[in-house]
Amino acid sequence: MSRPRKRSFSIAGHRTSVSLEPQFWAALQEIAAGRNMSLAGLVAEIDAGRANSGLSTAIRLHVLAFYQQRSSPRR
């Protein structure tokens, strides 16, 4: 994997920065595009739903869950 890259967002009226590897940024952008939402909107949604983890961790887990659901056989 490559070195993490930092991006800044405004979430709930405050600025925050998130550092993720480029592969996670690309995956997150794909998820946002598939839902017809902006990257900032998806990050805000993930932020609102996270419990005690940091935002970068919550985003990585969101991406992981998305691809696990997508790859699991439908019942």
Residue 45 identity = E
pLDDT at 53: 87
Global pTM value: 0.88
Instruction: Count Cβ atoms within 10 A of the Cβ of residue 45 and give its class: 0-12 exposed, 13-18 middle, 19 or more buried.
Output: middle
Average pLDDT of the chain?
92
What is the C-alpha separation between 52 and 35, in angstroms, rounded?
25
Which domains occur in the chain, in start order?
5-71 (1.10.3990.20)
Where residue 2 falls among pLDDT bands split at 50, 70, 90? Answer: confident
Q: Is the pLDDT of residue 75 over 80?
A: no
pLDDT digits (tens, 9 = 90+) for 13-43: 889 999 999 999 999 999 999 999 999 999 9
pLDDT at 74: 67
What is the C-alpha separation between 7 and 52, in angstroms, rounded?
21
What is the C-alpha separation between 53 and 59, in angstroms, rounded?
10
